Amino acid sequence: RLDPTGCPVSPNAAAFDPFADPYQQDPPGSLKWSRDGEPVFYSPVLGYWVVTRYEDVKAVFRDNRTFSPSIALEKITPFSDEANAVLARHDYAMGRTLVNEDEPAHMERRRVLMEPFTPQHLTQHEPMVRALVRERVDAFVDRGEADLVDELLYEIPLTVALHFLGVPEEDMETLRRYSVAHTLNTWGRPKPEQQVAVAESVGKFWQYAGQVLDKMRQDPSGPGWMQYGIRLQPQMPDVITDSYLHSMMMAGIVAAHETTAMAASNAFRVLLENRTVWEEICADQSLIPNAVEECLRFSGSVVAWRRIATTDTEIGGVRIPEGAKLLIVNSSANHDERHFDDPDSIDVRRDNASDHLTFGYGSHQCLGKNLARMEIQIFLEELTTRLPHLELVPGQEFTYLPNTSFRGPEHVLVRWDPTRNPEYRDP
Ligand code: HEM
């Protein structure tokens, strides 16, 4: 596509900066121009090709040989020598887990590690999730105001993630800090003066993951997914490598909790901003499972993912050279009117809501999707039951950690009148 000056990069493509507004404010809305007229474009700011339409994003996810996921956890912004030296001092060596592994190694590993994600195994976690949510809500239900993120939606997915992985539930605050650093390290554009601090936390996170792993190896009999991998290692050392275990210990904590906490936070923001929709699900809780899908479509927590072209190819008729890096904006795909009717409205009865690409698609599709769905569903069931008259504190500004891919409000302030709680009893 040539503009009248002959420059192959259009003005919109040249202006695209995913680390700034308007992408940071509204990723899919900021790319409507692209979906409408230039659905595959090169971004000079990013050094990536950007893909924004549903069919194209899905096609890239589907073909993980032409479009390798090997760069999924690579730093999107190169760091200064000083920051790299900090990472080196901590022996930081994030390697291949599942999400960034190529075939055939990926499928071999995924197949042997899948069992703990099957529905029969996941149902075992449900009573724990419900009990945790009830306990947390008990702590604030009579108060009249809360920050849903700090008091419910962050810590429960973290607790569930650690429980699922088999990691001791301690140092939650430290892990929260580490996770922010991991997100900025992988998908952010920290300023040179911030990079050293980010690298310091990422390095410590890597060390922490190694220590947890060493301890687990001494007694890998526990029920967690990481212990499951450790027990398989002697039979298949080439599939379950040391590098895999160490990398997954760190990446898995983030994959399992940040994504889910942010998705739940997005869901509450969206539902409470669309009051009639919130009231609809309060009145009929059978709508909740589809409401979860619709929230994941409308405002998912993973808004863009990455692939690299392994050969000269094309996407939607646009030629893509071998080695091209791709930002595939699944949140934009989720708002593509070519696939979803009236995509910018939230409709908890939408019949194709679950076609969203928030969990990716194809052979790498999120393994933890049903665990995440279950958690968000329980959050909604409990709060629509116990605090149906909940509302957002008016005038609050929602803030987001600036990065290309992980998105959820840092705080969601809500208020209600405790005397109107359905379970209210005079003290
Ligand atoms: C992969 C999103 C929750 C574990 C992925 C991918 C995405 C994603 C976009 C890459 C898919 C692809 O390349 O096609 C999400 C979102 C979540 C969530 C939005 C919450 C709402 C979880 C949870 C766990 C988890 C709770 C673990 C308990 C994984 C794993 C992979 C993965 C292991 C790699 C799968 C593979 O490459 O074979 N997730 N995830 N995720 N996710 Fe999730």
Q: Tens digits of per-residue pLDDT, 173-217?
A: 888 889 999 999 999 999 998 999 999 999 999 999 999 999 999
Quickly state the pLDDT bin for 4 (edges 50, 70, 90). low
pLDDT on residue 2: 46
Tens-place pLDDT, residues 223-280: 999 999 999 999 999 999 999 999 999 999 999 999 999 999 999 999 999 999 999 9
Is pLDDT of 1 > 50?
A: no
Interface predicted TM-score (ipTM) over 0.95: yes
Beta-bridged to residue 328, according to DSSP, are 51, 305
Q: How many CA atoms lie within 13 A of 222 on its CB side?
A: 19
Residue 348: the pLDDT is 98
pLDDT at position 172, please?
82
CA 209 – CA 168 distance, rounded (Å) = 11
Q: Which ligand 1 atom is nearest residue 106's CA?
A: 38
Which residue's CA is the nearest one to ligand 1's atom 43?
A: 366
Contact 167, 212 (CB under 8 A): yes
Question: What pLDDT band is residue 425 in, cutting at 50, 70 and 90?
Answer: low
| Residue of 356, 366, 361 whose CA lies nearest to 333 | 356
Q: Taking residues 85-93, what's their average pLDDT?
A: 96
Domain residue ranges in the chain: 11-420
Indicate if ligand 1 lies below 6 Å from the C-beta of 256. Answer: yes
Q: Report whether pLDDT(296) > 80.
A: yes
Q: Is the dihedral of CA 197, 148, 125, 281 positive or negative?
A: negative
Copy the structure tokens of residue 292.
Answer: 């979860």
Q: Read off the DSSP letter of residue 397.
A: P
* CA 2 to each of CA 187, 246, 384: distance values in angstroms, whole numbers, following the listed order: 30, 47, 52
The pLDDT score that the predictor gives to residue 406 is 97
Q: Is the per-residue pLDDT at 141 higher than 90?
A: yes
Q: Which of the four pLDDT bands, split at 50, 70 and 90, describes residue 7?
A: low
Q: Which of 163, 183, 262, 359 to mutate to test the pocket of ligand 1 (most atoms within 8 A of CB)?
A: 359
The single residue listed with the structure tokens 């593509």 is 336
Q: Is the CB of 178 under 6 A from ligand 1?
A: no
3-state helix, strand, coil in the chain (%, to 5): 50, 10, 40
In angstroms, the CA 184 to CA 356 distance is 25
CB 106 within 8 A of CB 363: yes
Q: Are 48 and 326 in contact (CB under 8 A)?
A: yes
Q: Which residues 6+ apart lie within 8 Å of 88 measured at CB? A: none
Residue with tokens 């992985």: 165
Per-residue tokens: 155: 């810590």
Q: Is 259 in the pocket of ligand 1 (CB under 6 A)?
A: yes
- Helix intervals (H) in 21-171: 27-30, 32-37, 54-62, 81-89, 105-113, 119-122, 126-140, 148, 155-165
Ligand 1 nearest-atom number relative to CA 361: 14
What separation in Å is there between the alpha carbon of 85 and the centre of ligand 1?
30
Give the separation between CA 138 and CA 134, rounded to whole angstroms: 6
Q: If you measure from the C-alpha of residue 374 to the centroid of ligand 1, how many angstroms do you get, rounded to a whole number?
A: 14
Q: How much distance in Å is there from the Cα of 367 to the middle of ligand 1? A: 5
* Sheet with strand 67-68: strands edge to edge: 40-43, 48-51, 325-328, 305-309, 67-68
Give the pLDDT band of residue 136 (cuts 50, 70, 90).
very high
Return the minimum-mean-pLDDT range out of 158-172, 265-279, 338-352, 357-371.
Answer: 158-172
244 lines ligand 1 (CB under 6 A): no
Q: From the CB of 164, is ligand 1 less than 6 Å away?
A: yes
Total H helices, total E strands in the chain = 18, 10
ω into 11 cis (within 30 of 0): no
Q: What is the DSSP string of 363-393?
A: GG--TTHHHHHHHHHHHHHHHHHH-TT-EEP
| Cβ 255 under 6 angstroms from ligand 1 | yes
Q: Does domain 11-420 have CATH number 1.10.630.10?
A: yes
Structure tokens at 32: 């409507």
**Residue nearest atom 33 in ligand 1 by C-alpha distance:** 367
Spacing, Cα 381 to ligand 1 middle (Å): 23
Q: Provide the token pair at 230.
A: 């450790």
pLDDT in tens, 31-72: 999 999 999 999 999 999 999 999 999 999 999 999 999 999
Handedness of CA 369, 374, 375, 381 (dihedral sign): positive
How far apart (Å, rounded) are the C-alpha atoms in residues 38 and 329? 14
Query: Would you state the structure tokens that stand for residue 237, as one six-digit string?
Result: 């050392």
Give the per-residue pLDDT at 9: 86
Q: Are the beta carbons of 381 and 291 closer than 8 angstroms?
A: no
Sort 383 into a burial class: Cβ within 10 Å, 0-12 / 13-18 / 19+: buried
CB 315 within 8 A of CB 14: no
Instruction: Report yes or no: 397 and 335 within 8 Å, Cβ to Cβ.
Output: no
What token pair was written down for 381? 């069931």
Which residue lies with its CA nearest to atom 36 of ligand 1? 364
